[in-house]
Structure 1
Amino acid sequence: MRSLLRFPLKKTLLGFAVTGAVASAPVQAGEVEVLHWWTSGGEARAANVLKELMEAEGHTWKDFAVAGGGGETAMTVLKSRAMSGNPPSAAQIKGPEIQEWGELGLLGNLDDVAQAEDWDSLLPEVVANIMRHDGHYVAVPVNVHRVNWLWANPQALNKAGVEVPTSIDDMFEIADDLREVGVIPLAHGGQPWQDATVFETVVLAEAGPDFYRRALVELDPEALNSETMIDALTTFKRMRTLMDDGMSGRDWNIATSMVIGGQAAMQLMGDWAKGEFTAAGLTPGEDYICVPAPGTESAFTFNIDSLAMFKARDEEAQAAQDDLARLVLEPTFQEAFNLAKGSIPARSDLDMSAFDSCAQRSMADFKATSENGGLVPSMAHGMAVRASVQGAIFDVVTNFFNDPDMSPEAAAERLANAGSSLL
């Protein structure tokens, strides 16, 4: 879920990029080696669908799965392979990191398959832009995760005699009633990326997608150091009052289990949390509630998994890559993978009847926000800014959240300084 490129890519690989040593030992005709970290049970089964589709096309699939849910290990391995002049055919890469690899001249061109399959009409422009480098398609989206979700336990809410909040103010208003019956209002894990997830959700709820885009995507110093941001930071720190004292260092799925078990009423987390409810045998709309985060109903913060293609070594490898890119966006794989992952298809023209009510709501909102300007990339999950910028924002956000003496004015100034120094 977090941004994964924690090394200075341009500096580490510059020598390799300049030499242009992309070629390595020849590969078998039609072979694709795919680096990814889809190693959990459902994800692995879904990835195997893609393997079977490729083999049905006559190609050879060489699986390069690297365990580790966040992908940090996979990115380390990818850097090592690229530095040695032997990158895989395709790799799971996210957001602005695609641009970093593209700037090194290592990524292949998918324009032919994109034109043949009409990707421009299948993908919202904001998504298509992330898949392009220098105007050319170099990657293909596998799925879309919605980040701005609220997950709630209806039994816990009923126990306190309260309803699902529709605004952040509502969350504060029902907090005392929940505590009186021994329920933690908001489950949270005190880790920087989780703090940032709550922060960006508050900014979106308090100021809307246009301000969010200016501040957390474009890094406009005036927006970052504005009264609007100060107000959002004030609300963000107040969110601590909804959480328990044991949150420090807690993993996100442990926080989700608190909602499942009724110890907590709610959690702000992306739709990968649904997998925890599903694994517990729970049904959306009955055993748990999924709604857009309060105040963000008209917006959609996205996190996308994608496969970027490295330059092919020969015509057979290029043909296999093109087929891989085509198959990723075809309905068979999009449905199978996203049913397993808890996300929604990257293309919005598919029949969603096989998906649950949370996914159906997510797709409806994905379509609506792609047309009304409410579709924005998640800063907290590596879709909006490069890793160095994201890391600087994380530092400010989590330090402010945990320092009772830091004022929102000071935090806003630090955000502006961090953004302007890293542009």
Structure 2
Amino acid sequence: MTLRIWTAIMAASVVLPLSAAKATDLEVTHWWTSGGEAAAVAEFAKAFDATGNKWIDGAIAGSGGTARPIMVSRITGGDPMGATQFNHGRQAEELVQAGLMRDLTDVATKEKWKEIIRPATLLDGCTIDGKIYCAPVNIHSWQWLWLSNDAFKKAGVEAPKNWDEFVAAAPALEKAGIVPLAIGGQAWQASGLFDVLVISLGGKDFYEKVYSAKDADTINGPDMARIFKAADDARRMSKGTNVQDWNQATNMVITGKAGGQIMGDWAQGEFQLAGKKAGTDYACLPGLGVNEYITTGGDAFYFPLLKDEAKSQAQAVLASTLLNPKTQVAFNLKKGSLPVRGDVDLNAANDCMKKGLDILAKGNVLKSTDELLSADIQKQKEDLFAEFFSSSMSPQDAQKRFASIIASAD
């Protein structure tokens, strides 16, 4: 059965509680605007439209850092959308506490989300004072090094199997006119790259001491100095990238203009859209080939309180649609992410996605920094690493700044 036929069957088979008689339009805001992301979100829209309601797409160009302030401003300013994307974690915490977001506990209870969503921490992140306020839709892990097989072939060196081999291959790539490591100019990319170094080079215990325990001795110690040395190596290897958006950096790997990119598994959507095959055209190293742990980053949808009863009912339908097993498969195969349901079949997954599923099955999963740090601390961290990657700031000074930021975290 082809994926196209399978998707058509999926759209026709979604059974949800509202009848078409109560159908309505519902605006959904998100920041999925790259080619691969747009293809994935179209699966959500298709499934929701099949219920008789209408998905009104409110895509906001740019990253989450660009979109979130707009989303928050609309909700707090009295112009709420029907549903909006946020990342797993604490990004909507203040909106919930202000009484502006809808309680989804009734939907979650009826559809047994506590039994089907894995890992359970994803639903914990949606829960405030015992009530569930969001619908998790995927698991995105940051801890990947994407490699262009053509780039390494052109440079005359074997594709690396780990971070140290990648750093060692950088001179050969540069000699061949290839940027070793592509990274876009947005602050979240630099901050996310650093977090990958912490968990992948430092390991599970080190990561938890830094971001969970916020242990001052660890953050100021020699092991953290080694992480900042690796960040300095990454900064040196990324010179000449000269792009802004993450998917532009991914495209440099796809076209062989860059040897690699540290980016989340959402990059798979871009490789897939370009017709590239995992294991043949490109390779992926979870945990940078060192420590194969992933974090439970990803996306969830929140639903602002609405006065319109029909739209409020449509919100419940959308929440149900997002977690429908067939919708979960169709969306995540195109997004490159892992499903939040533990009971779906992903036999069609590519080699890289299967690596992620294997890591998830082993339980090598940790909370993301979005779950462990407030939005304010995350912003301070992003500002630090944006400056570090665009300047000559020393690793030692950066470590001191980082220690000060984490010391003030709540």
Deviation at residue 363 of structure 1 after TM alignment: 2.2
Q: Output the CA distance in 1 between the equivalents of 2:65 and 2:385.
A: 22
SS in 2 for 1:303: coil
2:387 aligns to what? Answer: 399
Asked whether 1:261 is paired with 2:255, we answer yes
Compared with structure 1, are the counterparts of its residues 346 and 355 closer, same or farther at alpha carbon in structure 2 (3 Å cutoff)? same
> What's the CA shift for 1:138?
0.5
How many angstroms does 1:233 deviate by?
A: 0.9
Question: 2:9 maps to what in 1?
Answer: none
Between 1:80-89 and 1:390-399, the stretch displaced more is 80-89
Q: Corresponding residue for 1:421?
A: 408
The Cα shift of 1:259 comes to 2.1
User: Residue by residue, what CA displacement relative to the aligned partner does 1:382-415 show, whole Å, maximum 9, x if unpaired?
Assistant: 554233211211233333444445342x322221
Alpha-carbon offset, residue 68 of structure 1: 0.8
Classify the secondary structure of the residue corresponding to 2:60.
coil
Distance in 2 (alpha carbons) for counterparts of 1:179 and 1:84 = 50
- Write the distance in 1 (CA, Å) between the matches of 2:42 and 2:190: 34
Corresponding residue number in structure 1 for 2:97: 103
Provide the residue aligned with 1:232 in structure 2.
Answer: 227
1:66–1:73 CA contact under 8 A, matched in 2: no
Q: Aligned-pair distance for 1:199?
A: 1.1
Q: Does structure 1 retain, via aligned residues, the 8 Å contact 2:232–2:395?
A: no
Which whole-Å CA distance do the structure 2 matches of 1:224 and 1:335 have between them?
40
Deviations 1:167-216 (A, max 9, x none): 32222222334344443332233442222222111111221123223323
3-state SS, counterpart of residue 28 of structure 2: strand
Using a 3 Å threshold, how does the CA distance of structure 1 residues 161 and 78 change in structure 2: closer, same or farther? closer
Secondary structure at the aligned position of 2:260 is classed as strand
Q: Does 1:202 align with 2:193?
A: no
| 3-state SS of 1:162 partner | coil
2:139 to 141, 144, 148: 144
Distance in 2 (alpha carbons) for counterparts of 1:317 and 1:194: 36
Output the aligned Cα RMSD. 2.9
Structure 2 residue 329 is the aligned partner of structure 1 residue 335:
yes
Q: What is the letter of the counterpart of residue 66 of structure 1? A: A
Decide whether aligned partners of structure 1 residues 224 and 116 sit closer, same or farther in structure 2, where only a CA change above 3 A counts. Answer: same
Partner of 2:81: 88
| Amino acid in the other structure paired with 1:118 | K
Q: Name the residue aligned to 2:245.
A: 251
Match of 1:113 in 2: 107
Residue identity (%)? 35
Determine the structure 2 residue equivalent to 1:376.
367
Which residue identity lines up with residue 198 of structure 1 in the other structure? Answer: L
Q: Are residue 301 (structure 1) and residue 288 (structure 2) matched? A: no
For these two proteins, the number of residue pairs brought into alignment is 387
Cα distance between partner residues in 1 of 2:295 and 2:339: 15
The answer to whether the 8 A contact 1:165-1:294 is kept is no
Counterpart pick for 1:388 among 376, 387, 394: 376
Distance in 2 (CA, whole Å) between partners of 1:419 and 1:362 is: 29
CA contact (8 A) 2:49 2:55 kept: no
Q: Choose which of 168, 174, 178 in structure 1 pairs with 2:169.
A: 174
CA contact (8 A) 2:216 2:407 kept: yes
- AA aligned opposite 1:376: K
Question: Are the counterparts in 1 of residues 336 and 353 from structure 2 also a CA contact under 8 Å?
Answer: yes
TM-score (norm 1): 0.81
Equivalences for 1:211-222 in 2 at 5 Å? 211-217=206-212, 219-222=214-217
**What amino acid sits opposite 1:415 in the alignment?**
F
Letter in 2 for 1:385: L
| 1:107/1:309 contact within 8 Å kept | yes
In 2, are the aligned partners of 1:334 and 1:345 still within 8 Å (CA)? yes
Are the aligned partners of 2:243 and 2:249 in contact in 1 as well (CA < 8 Å)? no
Larger CA deviation: 143-152 vs 251-260: 251-260
CA contact (8 A) 1:221 1:417 kept: no
Match of 2:124 among 126, 129, 132: 129
Query: What amino acid does structure 2 have at the position aligned with 1:329?
Result: L
Contact 1:98 1:131 in 2 (8 A): no
Partner of 2:354: 360
Distance 1:181 1:257 in 2: 18
Of 287, 290, 293, the match for 2:281 = 287
Cα distance in structure 2, aligned partners of 1:292 and 1:417? 30
User: Which letter does structure 1 place at the counterpart of 2:402?
Assistant: L
- The CA deviation string for residues 95-154 of structure 1, in whole angstroms up to 9 with x for no partner, is 311222212122222222222322223221221222222232110112222211111122
The residue identity in structure 2 corresponding to 1:254 is Q
8 A Cα contact 2:147 2:261, kept in partner: yes
Provide the C-alpha distance between the structure 1 equivalents of 2:269 and 2:311, rounded to a whole number of angstroms.
Answer: 35
Give distance in 1, aligned partners of 2:303 and 2:291. 35
In structure 2, the partner of 1:321 is 315
Distance 1:356 1:159 in 2: 25
Seen in structure 2, the aligned counterparts of structure 1 residues 226 and 117 have a Cα distance that, compared at 3 Å, is: farther
1:10 equivalent in structure 2: none
TM-score, structure 2 length as denominator? 0.83
Q: 1:337 to 1:185 in 2, by over 3 A?
A: same
Quote how far apart the aligned CAs of 1:165 are: 2.7
- The 8 Å contact of residues 150 and 268 in structure 1, kept in 2 or not, is answered as yes
In the other structure, the counterpart of 2:61 is: 68
* 186-195 vs 203-212, which moves further: 186-195
Query: Does the 8 Å contact 2:48/2:55 carry over to 1?
Result: no
Counterpart-to-counterpart distance in 2, 1:277 and 1:179: 23
Determine if contact 1:39/1:65 at 8 Å carries over to the other structure.
Answer: no
One-letter identity of the residue aligned with 1:189: G
* Corresponding residue SS for 1:265: strand
